[in-house]
Chains A and B, each alone.
Chain A
């Protein structure tokens, strides 16, 4: 299963809500303002390091680039994907759940 999250964890609880329910082994894609969750220097990073043990976590590159954080270190284990990668995830992972 693919879970998608598009809200910053510093403002909203959407990513927490996702992490609390996603079944181990799920894939989580961070896009739009959720990409801030991937920053290694951020306060949310410890939570993401822990999450990376249980889930495959991806982040959408163009949304990092748009926000000026394309070169910032990301939490280890988080994979950057482009739009094609996003589409491939949707096609490969079956059902998608959006945590809007």
Chain B
């Protein structure tokens, strides 16, 4: 008798801006690894994490460091389609969904809290 492997709800919680520290890139690498394990993957951006999705980043040209912003647009190809950004975090930083380099579901702070509470595993930075 074989059992189906358990699918868990994973949430990757991004709260840090992209280039000042390595956190954002490390979380992105975790997300790409997780795509291999057929889990129910969710990716959320809140607080300074919303800056990770800002259009027009030219980190390679400016700082000669990896421009990983592009990689968010490739997540779709790995079956990772559940991306969320918190409305209040965007507004506090003068951003709207139009400023983002990938389509996301914009959710309220309250809805973000409920999303977090509904997960089996939360990995954050």
Contacts and interface: CB of A to CB of B under 8 A. Distances in A.
Contacts of A98: 122, 124
B117 A26 contact: yes
B121 A95 contact: yes
A23 B117 contact: yes
Nearest to A99: B124
Contact of A21 (B23, B113, B119): B113
A97 B114 contact: no
Interface residues of A, number: 14
Given A13-B47, A17-B15, A17-B47, A97 B116 contact: yes
B125 A96 contact: no
A20 interface: yes
Nearest to A20: B109
Interface string A73-100: 0000000000000000000000111111
Interface in B99-125: 109, 112-114, 116-117, 119-122, 124-125
A17 B120 CA distance: 20
A69 interface: no
A21 B109 contact: yes
B124 A100 contact: yes
B124 A97 contact: yes
